[in-house]
Amino acid sequence: MSKKTIAQSTTSTKPQPHRFKTPVIVAAIAVVVVAMAAFAYWRQTDDRAAAAAQANQQPAGAPAAGSPNAPAPADMTAAAPLEPHPQQNLPPLQFPGYAPPRPPDVIKAVYRFAAEHPDVLSYVPCFCGCERAGHRGNEDCFVRARAANGDVVEWEEHGMECTVCIDVAQRSMQMYSAGASARDIRAAIELEWAPRYRNKTATPMPR
């Protein structure tokens, strides 16, 4: 065999370069694109399901959030001013079997004031930590329940044994008797008690 023939034979048997790299890369890109499209579709479906669930929880006929008719977020301003409520027959007060922290006459007076003046104590915060029990203001420290006409039908016993509740109510009562408005009373109580106590009820502001 001649050298030329041997050279041609060697050239013809030389391994050819792989040509399948490009199809593999294209296939991999296609897989990634399909996966991204599937993920986007899943997220869109999930968001729609969440929106539908939220819509189902909204009361029928309630305006959508952000619409002009949607209710404004609750703030610290009272919806309507309360009025004094004189009451002829109050429930009896049941004093504990031990001496209360303030004289009984003082306690009776602040309980009556709380019953007859929600227009004051509903706007006065308490600082004893009773917000953890759901109290919204100093009135809740003494009044647990009222009838539809506003008469007290059940007392809150907490105020009977708490010096902070009693003292805040007594100071409010004294200022009211001197002619102070609910707004002035609130400001004075805040100024006197807030620096000394960390707790405070979320009490609405008087109008």
26, pLDDT greater than 80? no
Instruction: Look up residue 67 and give its two tokens.
Output: 């619409």
Instruction: Look up residue 108 and give its two tokens.
Output: 């009776």
pTM > 0.85: yes or no: no
| Residues 172-192, mean pLDDT to the nearest whole number | 98
Task: Say what the pLDDT of residue 29 is.
Answer: 64
Three-state secondary-structure class, residue 143: strand
Task: Say what the pLDDT of residue 201 is.
Answer: 97
Task: Say what the pLDDT of residue 73 is.
Answer: 38
120, pLDDT greater than 50? yes
95, pLDDT greater than 60? yes
| Residues 11-32, mean pLDDT to the nearest whole number | 54
Indicate if the alpha-carbon torsion angle 47, 53, 55, 58 is positive or negative: negative
On average, the pLDDT of the chain sits at: 78
| Residues 190-197, mean pLDDT to the nearest whole number | 96
31-35, 99-103, 157-161, 197-201 — which is least confidently predicted?
Answer: 31-35
Task: Say what the pLDDT of residue 53 is.
Answer: 45
pLDDT in tens, 39-75: 555 455 445 544 444 444 444 444 443 444 444 334 4
Q: Name the more confident of 54 and 186.
A: 186
| Residues 163-177, mean pLDDT to the nearest whole number | 98
Q: What percent of the chain has pLDDT over 70?
A: 61
**11 burial via Cβ count (<10 Å: 0-12, 13-18, 19+):** exposed
| Residue in 88, 97, 100 with CA at minimum distance from that of residue 158 | 100
Expressed in angstroms, the distance from the first to the final Cα of the chain is 116
Confidence of residue 207 (pLDDT cuts 50, 70, 90): confident
187, pLDDT greater than 60? yes
pLDDT in tens, 124-140: 999 999 999 999 999 99
Instruction: Look up residue 12 and give its two tokens.
Output: 């013809």
